[in-house]
Amino acid sequence: MTGDELKDYVARQFEGRMTLLDTGRFDPMYEVKVPDLLEVAKALRDDENLKFDFFCNLGGVDTGERFEAVYSIASTINKLRLDFKVMLPRDGAEIESVQEIWPGANWYEREIWELFGINVKNHGNLKRFLLPDDWDQGHPLRKDWDAPDFIRMPEL
């Protein structure tokens, strides 16, 4: 399946559940609504023509107004790759864990919980991970976070 065929196929099969975002000449990026996340992820893995069985990456983004969780998945059988994201409000951001679909997502979700403060439902092991155990200084990858010893240059 080429890139365009994949685009058509996803548009047909996931109409209404995956929205193609305007990304110009870059790889296609889809938006998935938060409540649909698990169902769409499952369908992406189990669809005969897609078989996205390989979890590449999960990255959090803080745009200032909202959080995003960007998933990159691939298929080792059909040699495909796909990106999609969920957009979350800044207050009370919460995603559903996709561990039952891709067990490898476990640590990525733990990381996103720790560094962005996005809660992961049904994760089961949300504990301090990259940061020290007694860390109490917020979520470092948020855009409004400054290091505790950071002194802003005075305006002259």
Other CB atoms within a 10 A radius of the CB of residue 116 amount to 22
Q: Nearer to other proteins by C-beta: 16 or 151?
A: 151
Rounded Cα gap, residues 33 and 19, in angstroms: 9
Residue 66 C-beta: closest distance to other proteins, Å: 13
Ramachandran region of residue 143, left (φ > 0), alpha (ψ -120 to 50) or beta? Answer: alpha
Contact 59, 73 (CB under 8 A): no
Kindly list the residues in this chain that would bind other proteins in the complex (CB under 8 A).
23-27, 29, 53-57, 59-62, 70, 72, 74, 76, 79, 81, 83, 102-104, 106-107, 128-132, 140-141
Nearer to other proteins, 107 or 121 (CB): 107
Residue 14 or 102 having the CB closest to other proteins: 102
Work out how close the CB of 137 gets to other proteins at its nearest, in angstroms, rounded to a whole number.
13
Tokens 């990026």 locate to 29
